[in-house]
């Protein structure tokens, strides 16, 4: 175990999620790697081949209230414009662990960030998922909190009916509630996010113009399945072949092989 005095001062000076390389007292050469995350303070010296760790200290109430107030201010500032919130942290290793875990639970990793255009926004402590148009212009974005606070999602003041988030390509379209589920489907098929449980007329018009069958795959909870019933009725009233897909978990949590099996099975409306 590394002597605390040889590394703690470096780690204590880091912000949450920060990391650095330092000279250890065993010699020069920046062999000491230190970082600070939700699990505490960490250190490892590659020359000594030894490590150190200290549990996180409880956050003082005054500091917590100040942090939450600042986050609310940053939420309001970011949500006032369709412009993407900045600064943007796009390096996976520099994200807080719980933000990485949110994507890892969906079977996604650092390789998905460029395709998803996802990044971490430190001032609001959220993961931002942009929606880009064919020309690359930003049409919409959502920023997801991963620490359990409300609101869970932050979005700009844009009419969601004008936004159509599409991922992948296939002979049929699969409608999902959220962006991450649509992206996950798009890795093996074609996913469209409705940004909720309702099918708006602009998306319906795009489906009719496309002229293909539609899978309706919303979350398995009561709200998702109530929405699915209404979406299916609206599609059938427009003469669109459609079917409902129900999984035990949200689409984004389903393994790619199972997604492919469900989506690519013979279509029987």
Mean pLDDT throughout 209-229?
A: 96
The partner residues of 37 in beta bridges, in order of sequence, read: 40
Comparing 181 with 133, which gets the higher pLDDT?
Answer: 181
The mean-pLDDT minimum among 24-28, 111-115, 151-155, 252-256 falls in 24-28
Task: Report the percentage of the chain scoring pLDDT > 90.
Answer: 71
The partner residues of 173 in beta bridges, in order of sequence, read: 214
pLDDT of residue 268: 61
- If one counts every other C-beta atom within 10 angstroms of the C-beta of residue 82, the result is 14
CA distance 81 to 2: 48
pLDDT of residue 7: 92
How much is the mean pLDDT over the chain? 91
Residue 269, pLDDT > 70, answer: no
Residue 59, pLDDT > 80, answer: no
Domains, the chain, in order of start with CATH, read 4-54 (no CATH), 61-158 (3.90.980.10), 161-264 (3.40.1360.10)
CA distance 102 to 145: 10
Can you spell out the DSSP letters for the chain?
---GGGTHHHHHTSPTT-EEEEEETTEEEEEEEEEEETTEEEEEETTTTEEEEEPPPPPPHHHHHHHHHHHHHHHHHHTT-SSPPSS-B--GGGS-HHHHHHHHTTT--GGGHHHHT-EEETTTTEEEEEEE-TTS-EEEEEEEE-SS-SSSEE--S--GGG--EEEE--SSEEEESSHHHHHHHHTTSEEEE-SSS---HHHHHHHHHHT--EEE---SSHHHHHHHHHHHHHHHHTT--EEE---SS-GGGS-HHHHHHHHHS----
Comparing 213 with 135, which gets the higher pLDDT?
Answer: 213
Which of the four pLDDT bands, split at 50, 70 and 90, describes residue 37? confident
């Amino acid at each position: 175990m590394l002597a605390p005095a040889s590394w703690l001062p470096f780690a204590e000076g880091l912000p949450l999620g920060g990391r650095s390389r330092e000279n250890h007292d065993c010699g020069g050469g920046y062999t000491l790697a230190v970082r600070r995350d939700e699990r505490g303070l960490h250190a490892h010296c590659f020359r000594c081949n030894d490590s150190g760790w200290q549990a996180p200290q409880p956050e003082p109430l005054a500091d917590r209230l100040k942090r939450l107030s600042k986050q609310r201010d940053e939420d309001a500032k970011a949500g006032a414009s369709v412009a993407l919130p900045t600064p943007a942290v796009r390096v996976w290793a520099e994200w807080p662990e719980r933000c990485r875990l949110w994507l890892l639970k969906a079977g996604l990793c650092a390789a998905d960030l460029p395709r998803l255009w996802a990044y971490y926004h430190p001032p609001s402590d959220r993961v931002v998922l942009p929606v880009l148009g064919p020309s690359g212009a930003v049409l919409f974005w959502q920023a997801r909190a991963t620490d359990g606070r409300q609101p869970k999602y932050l979005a700009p003041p844009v009419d969601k009916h004008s936004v159509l988030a599409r991922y992948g390509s296939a002979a049929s379209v699969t409608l999902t509630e959220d962006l991450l589920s649509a992206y996950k489907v798009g890795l093996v098929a074609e996913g469209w996010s409705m940004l909720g449980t309702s099918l708006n007329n602009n998306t319906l018009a795009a489906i009719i113009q496309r002229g293909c069958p539609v899978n309706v795959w919303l979350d398995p909870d009561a709200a998702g399945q109530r929405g699915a019933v209404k979406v299916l009725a609206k599609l059938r009233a427009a003469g669109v072949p459609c079917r409902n897909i129900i999984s035990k978990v949200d689409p984004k949590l389903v393994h790619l092989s199972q997604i492919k099996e469900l989506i690519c099975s013979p279509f029987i409306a």
